Structure 1
Amino acid sequence: MIDIVIVNWNSGLQIKRCIHSLIIHEQEDLAHIVVLDNASTDGSTTALESLTNVKVRYSATNLGFGAACNLGAKSGNSPYILFLNPDTRLERNSLSVPLKFMEQPENSTVGVCGIQLVDEQSKVSRTCARLPTLGRFVSSALGVNKLPGLSGSGIHMSDWDHDTSREVDHVMGAFYLVRRELFEQVGGFDERFFVYLEDVDLSKVVKDAGFSIWYLTEANAFHAGGGASRQVKAHRLFYSLRSRLLYAFKHFPQWKAWCLLAVTNLLEPLTRTIWCLLRRDFAGVKYTWAAYRMLWRSMGHILRGDGRYNP
């Protein structure tokens, strides 16, 4: 059985459609659906309160994704937890296939499982990622991975068409099925990551604990992508940059973390500006520098490792 945890923040109709797809397709494998509302202001969870098998919990403040997931996970006790984005919609076999895969004795050391996600054009999204290294972070920071033939130099596995099942370093947190015992063993999500890379960090910890991560193409689900973060572009970039540095100072040798900090603060603002100008994206230039002003104000929090500065 599976407990599904959905973190909601102003997702509008998306979360209603997500819950509807769960109720229609996957009742047999479901124990509980837990919706943790992160101080939304759009009333998106109001209509869910009357639904059976759906627990809606409210936070007075926005806890961030990882902290909200941890809180939601405590509301159930099933052997598996599925962390699911509100901008997803499941299909008939979205739960049964990965659950059957995880239950097979030969897969007892598979800690996390993800499935194929398709976008609004029914195109398979390239959602898996490699665990970050200094080189991969720098490639993404400087836009090297955008150059022809170098798409595989970054973190995201955009150079792979995602048409076969295989072991990977990381599956996207939009559909992240994990064994509860393992999740609790490693302490859940690191709550210093307000949003972004908390799922990558957990995948790193899961693999360090001796478990593998699998991506399955035998099942799929719809994922819109971007979700509520589309609403706050400058903040989205800020949180992404901050999480990158938090990850580096947590997992990299100190000299590599400081190298990445230098690249992120001194070179990346310029390269991002150049890429925006080449696309004539003048709004993007504005968002870039707004994000970096927030990042520079939060640098003390990042270096102390607390990660909780919220502009």
Structure 2
Amino acid sequence: MTKTTPPSILVIVLNYRTAALSLVAAQHAVAAMEGLRGAVRIVDNASGDGSAEIIEAGIAGAGWERVSLIKSPRNGGFGAGNNLAMRMGLPDGSAPDYIYLLNSDAKPRADAIRLLMEALEAAPEAGIAGSRTVGADGVLHRTAFRFPSILGEFEGSVRTGLFTRLLRDWVVPLPVPEDTARVDWVAGASLMLRGRMLDRIGLFDETFFLYFEETDLCLRAAREGWHALYVPQSEAEHLGSVSTGMQSWARTPGYWYDSRLHYYVQNHGRMYAVAATLSRAVGETIWRLRCGLENKSRRDPPGFLRDLLMHGARCALRCRSRRKIRLADGGPGRNDSLAAGDPT
């Protein structure tokens, strides 16, 4: 009787100036990989703060034989850092059956990785599986979503129960499933990808520096016939936004607007992107009027609506000027789209 080789798993922990947390994440990943075939790679995304040296010493001190460090020559963002490790594959040069992505500020439970793999093994048509995540305080995080849309942008920004009821089929955050469920996309804090799927659809789009890259990957997968699973039995503790500082943003950084715009233009076209931005702006305006009338806190970073509109206007003007140049040169005009990196 032929003996079946167990699936292999490549665990990737992406570090950017969070060396101590990355080592804790790797420690939990090593424990969760007990009895599973594969390896753990920590990618230092050109931190420039001594992180690589700290991690290197930590790996040696812990005696982790299956953990290695990759030093990226540049900080190309979340997708680029993970792609670097995925292209390298397992230490023996072979391609893994599954890739497990773990945020540096996340800690998988002892069975979290195995349960994600088993969910994908049981569903050959699924290419992506995400864990249930909770904060250090035990509060459940929402990590299962619908794909963003024009109506979803309005509902998410207007923040009014009446519109949420009317637009319930477009609300982006889904109610947290109690059992394994098919969803549009899952967050990347504790996420497993099928290697065979990536062979077909490609790796992360490195135009995204940060945010929307896993949404884009899940959408590309769905268009090729793969779907995503939310697996609540697989659980990870996630601090959230430690590397990015999102929770304490004084102002939304430009790369968030860049990623959002690229997602819409790349997947739905320029006019859809314009409509999605206007939809969000209308919702934000209604919300601000409510806040003024009811003395509510707006809860948005300062300047968000102005920055959103100005970013969209600048990109629209840039696209228009490029189109004029192409037409003047006799180049294509009807099917123009933003090239990689245009939103930046």
Fold-level similarity (TM above 0.5): yes
Cα-to-partner distance string for 1:26-61 (whole Å, 9 max, x where unaligned): 232251212222221333342322423222222333
Whole-angstrom distance in 1 between the partners of 2:253 and 2:143: 18
Moved more, 205-214 or 56-65: 56-65
Q: What residue in structure 2 maps to residue 225 of structure 1?
A: 240
Aligned AA (2:338): R
Whether 1:21 aligns to 2:32 is no
Moved more, 121-130 or 272-281: 272-281
Whole-angstrom distance in 2 between the partners of 1:42 and 1:243: 26
Query: Normalization by structure 2: what TM-score?
Result: 0.76
Q: Is the contact made by 1:14 and 1:86 (CA closer than 8 Å) also made in structure 2?
A: yes
- Give the alignment partner of residue 85 of structure 1, picking from 93, 97, 103: 103
Q: Which runs of 5+ in 2 are unaligned?
A: 1-7, 60-64, 90-94, 321-336
1:289 to 1:254, Cα distance in 2 relative to 1, 3 A: closer
Whole-angstrom distance in 2 between the partners of 1:94 and 1:35: 18
> Displacement of 1:289 after TM fit?
5.2
Whether 1:155 aligns to 2:172 is yes
Aligned AA (2:79): G
1:186 to 1:32, Cα distance in 2 relative to 1, 3 A: same
> Displacement of 1:167 after TM fit?
0.8
Moved more, 291-300 or 21-30: 291-300
- Give the alignment partner of residue 184 of structure 2, picking from 148, 164, 169: 169
SS in 1 for 2:243: helix
Whole-angstrom distance in 2 between the partners of 1:228 and 1:213: 26
Cα-to-partner distance string for 1:155-207 (whole Å, 9 max, x where unaligned): 222xx133222111111111221111211221111111111111001001111
Q: Is the contact made by 1:276 and 1:285 (CA closer than 8 Å) also made in structure 2?
A: no
Whether 1:115 aligns to 2:131 is yes
Query: Normalization by structure 1: what TM-score?
Result: 0.84
Q: Is the contact made by 2:251 and 2:301 (CA closer than 8 Å) also made in structure 1?
A: no
1:67 to 1:308, Cα distance in 2 relative to 1, 3 A: farther
Cα-Cα RMSD: 3.0
Q: Is the contact made by 1:235 and 1:291 (CA closer than 8 Å) also made in structure 2?
A: no
Pick the structure with greater CA Rg. 2
> Displacement of 1:223 after TM fit?
1.0
Q: What residue in structure 1 maps to residue 339 of structure 2?
A: 305
Whole-angstrom distance in 2 between the partners of 1:203 and 1:47: 34
> Displacement of 1:62 after TM fit?
1.5
- Give the alignment partner of residue 185 of structure 1, picking from 197, 200, 203: 200
SS in 2 for 1:284: coil
The 5 Å alignment of 1:22-61 reads: 22-50=29-57, 51=59, 52-61=65-74
Whole-angstrom distance in 1 between the partners of 2:283 and 2:17: 30
> Displacement of 1:126 after TM fit?
1.4
Moved more, 84-93 or 300-309: 300-309
Whole-angstrom distance in 2 between the partners of 1:283 and 1:164: 33
Whole-angstrom distance in 2 between the partners of 1:200 and 1:248: 11
Whole-angstrom distance in 1 between the partners of 2:254 and 2:48: 22
> Displacement of 1:5 after TM fit?
1.5
Aligned AA (1:230): G
1:207 to 1:280, Cα distance in 2 relative to 1, 3 A: closer
Whole-angstrom distance in 1 between the partners of 2:214 and 2:115: 22
Whole-angstrom distance in 2 between the partners of 1:132 and 1:9: 27
Cα-to-partner distance string for 1:69-110 (whole Å, 9 max, x where unaligned): 111111212110012111110111011112122223xx1111
Aligned AA (1:305): A
SS in 1 for 2:128: strand
Whether 1:239 aligns to 2:260 is no
Q: Percent identity?
A: 22
Whether 1:98 aligns to 2:113 is no
1:123 to 1:237, Cα distance in 2 relative to 1, 3 A: same
1:60 to 1:46, Cα distance in 2 relative to 1, 3 A: same
Whether 1:197 aligns to 2:204 is no
Q: Is the contact made by 2:277 and 2:312 (CA closer than 8 Å) also made in structure 1?
A: no
SS in 2 for 1:228: coil
- Give the alignment partner of residue 251 of structure 1, picking from 267, 284, 298: 267
SS in 2 for 1:111: strand
The number of residues matched between the two structures is: 302
